[in-house]
Structure 1
Amino acid sequence: MGTRTQRRRPELAAFLRTKRARVTPADVGMPPGLRRRTPGLRREEVAQLSGVGVTWYTWLEQGRPINASPQVLDAVARTLRLDPPEREHLYRLAEVPFQPAAESLVRQVSPDVQGIIDALDPMLAVVYNSRYDVLATNAGYRDLFLIPETLRIGVPNVLWTLFTLPEGTCPLVHRETELPLMVATLRSSYGRHVGEPAWEEYIRGLSAASPWFAELWASGAVAPPGPRVKTFRHAAVGRMRMTSQSLSIDGMPECRIVVYSADDEDTRAKIALLREHRERLWPPVREEEALETVRG
C-alpha cells in the first residue's frame, strides 16, 4: 500500500465516523429504538440503508484497504446525506475516480461574474458551459463576434454558429484545424452526459444542421480544453491573432471564462479601433438587447 493510500485511509475513517454521527434515525425515517451510547446512526444501520454488508462497511470505516465501487460510495453518500462537495471528498479519500452527479447545465451567470468579465475589457471575455452555450459576454467580445450574421442565426451557442455560418462570414479563420479540435473538446465533456436528453438532442440537432459536424462527431476524437492561438476576422479591421485562456468558476460546474488577448501589436491596435468605434462598425444594438441575444 502506497504512502498516499496510508495517509488517506485514516482520513476516510474519521470522515465517515463524523458524518455518521450527525445523521439521526429520524433523518432517515427510522424509529429511535433503544437508548444509544453515541449520537447518530449505528454502523449496521448505515450498512442496511446503503445496501452493503455490515462487515464491508465496518472495514471501510476502519480505513482498511478494501475496494469500493462508485455505486456503493453513492449509496453510502445518500445514507449519510452528503452534499456534493462532501460526496466528492468521499471519492477522493476512497481513491475512486470522481464523476459529478448529472445535473442540468448552468444557463446564467451571477452579477459578480458578469462584473469580472466586463472589467477585462478591452480583452475579449465570454462565459461558456461545457456545451459551448454562451452564458455571458463583455463588450470586447461583442465587438468581434456580435455581427449581423451571428444575430440572424439566433442560437446562443458557439459551435452551432461556427458550423452553420458560411465560411466567408465566419469570424474564425482556419476552421479546418480549429473546429475539429473544438468538437473533440465537446466530446470530452459529453462523456459525463451520455444519454441525457438535452445533450442527445443538441448533438442530433447540430449533426442535422451541419454534415461536417456529424462527420467530425462520428470520428470519436477527444481532447481537453487548453490555451490556443487563434486567428479571427472582422469585416472592418481584417484579421486578428489572439491567445485564448480558460478559467474555471467556483460554484459553476463545467463552466469557464474564456479570455482572448492580442497575440501581436497589430491585433492590439485593431482591438483598440473596434473599441473606439464600436457604435459605428456594425449596426447599433443596445447592450441589453445584445446580452439577451447571446444568452437566449
Structure 2
Amino acid sequence: MTTRRGELADFLRTRRERIAPEDVGLPAGGRRRTPGLRREEVALLAGVGVTWYTWLEQGRDINASVQVLEAIARTLRMDNQERWHLFELAGVTIVPPAATECQLLGGIGQEILDQLDPLPAVVLSPRSDILGYNRAYNRMGGDLDSMEPGELNQIWLFFTHPYWQDLCRSADRERAAAYMVGSMRTAATQHLEDVTWDRFIRRLREASAEFDELWRRHDVADLATPAKNFKSPVGELRLQMTRMTIGTRGLTRMNVYSPRDEETRARLVELVAYDAEQKLRAVG
C-alpha cells in the first residue's frame, strides 16, 4: 500500500466512524463492534458497490471518479476542506498544481515586518517554518533570536518548547492545537512522497504525545480562530490575527496580530521596548 493510499484509507475510516446511523436517517440497530457507520451503509448511501468502497477504504489501487468522490464526501458530511483533502489523497486534481514554496525571506520582506512593530508579525512556510518575524513577535515567542535554527518552526515550538506550551490559556491552547495539526495534515497532503516532510512529522510524533494523538485523528483544518490570548513578559495580550497570503496559491503566509483593546495596545509598545532592553543587556 502506498503512502497516499494508506492516508486515504485512514481518512475515510475516521470520517466514517464519527457519523452515527441516526445522523443520516438510518436506524441505530443493535450492538456495533466499531463506532459510526458500517462500510456497507456508506456504500448504500453513496450509491456505490460495497466491494468497491471496501477496496477504497482498504487502500487498494483503484480509480475513483469525481462524481463518486463527491457522493462519498456528501455521505460522510465532509466540509469543504475535508472534501479537498479527499480529492488530493485520491489523486484527483481539482485545484491547480502547487506553486514553488518560498523558503527565504528577502530584505524587503523583513523591512515590512519591522515596520509593523509593535504589532507582532511572522512569515510562515506551508510547513509552518518561521521565515521571518519582528521584535514584537520575537519577544512574544520567548526570544526566537536565541533559539537554534532547527527549532524555528511554529508547530514544533508549540508542542515541544516549554515556553510555547504555556503561551496560550488552556481553552485557547486546545483549539489552537487542533487547528495546527489539522493545517499540517492539509499541507502534508501535497508532500506525501517528500522525505523532508515525512521526517519532520515523524520527529514531531515522537517528541509530543499530544501531537501524535491529534495526528491519528486524521482531522483537517477548517478556519483558524482569529481572536487569541497570549501570555507575555508584560502581561496578557488579547489579540486579533489577520492572515495575508504570499504567492500565487498563498502557500506562504504572513500573520499579523492586532490588539483587541487599549490595554493590549499599550502592552505591545512595552513588549517591543522590553525586547530592545533585553538585547542591550545581552550586548553589555
Residue of 251, 255, 265 corresponding to 1:254: 251
Change (3 A) 1:135 1:177: same
Residue of 193, 196, 216 corresponding to 2:194: 196
Change (3 A) 1:164 1:222: same
- How much does 1:167 deviate? 6.7
Distance 1:248 1:154 in 2: 24
Change (3 A) 1:222 1:285: farther
Residue of 262, 268, 277 corresponding to 1:271: 268
Change (3 A) 1:227 1:150: farther
User: Considering only CA atoms, is the larger Rg found in Structure 1 or Structure 2?
Assistant: 1
- State the match for 1:142 in structure 2: 138
Contact 1:242-1:260 at 8 Å conserved across structures: yes
Distance 2:195 2:213 in 1: 21
- How much does 1:252 deviate? 8.1
Contact 2:160-2:207 at 8 Å conserved across structures: yes
Runs of 5+ consecutive residues of structure 2 not aligned to the other structure: 1-65, 67-92
Distance 1:283 1:152 in 2: 20
Q: Does 1:111 align with 2:123?
A: no
- State the match for 1:131 in structure 2: 127
Change (3 A) 1:254 1:194: same
> Percent of counterpart pairs with the same letter?
30
- State the match for 2:27 in structure 1: none
Between 1:197-206 and 1:113-122, the stretch displaced more is 113-122
- How much does 1:207 deviate? 0.4
Q: Could you state the TM-score of these two structures normalised by the residue count of structure 2?
A: 0.59
* Residues matched between the structures, number: 191
- How much does 1:211 deviate? 1.0
Deviations 1:180-203 (A, max 9, x none): 111111112112212211111111
Change (3 A) 1:153 1:250: closer
- State the match for 1:151 in structure 2: 147
> Superposition pairs for residues 35-184 of structure 1, below 5 Å?
97-101=94-98, 105-147=101-143, 151=147, 155-166=151-162, 170-174=166-170, 175-184=173-182
- How much does 1:158 deviate? 0.7
In structure 2, what residue type is equivalent to 1:210? S
Distance 1:258 1:271 in 2: 16
Deviations 1:90-115 (A, max 9, x none): xxxxxx62242475x43211222222
Change (3 A) 1:99 1:203: farther
Q: Does 1:280 align with 2:277?
A: yes
- State the match for 2:90 in structure 1: none
Distance 1:250 1:168 in 2: 29
Q: Secondary structure at the match of 2:253?
A: strand
Change (3 A) 1:178 1:102: same
Q: Does 1:239 align with 2:209?
A: no
- How much does 1:128 deviate? 0.1
Contact 2:121-2:254 at 8 Å conserved across structures: yes
Contact 1:153-1:161 at 8 Å conserved across structures: no
Distance 1:111 1:252 in 2: 22
Q: Give me the CA root mean square deviation.
A: 2.9
Runs of 5+ consecutive residues of structure 1 not aligned to the other structure: 1-68, 70-95, 287-296
In structure 1, what residue type is equivalent to 2:247? D
Distance 2:106 2:149 in 1: 26
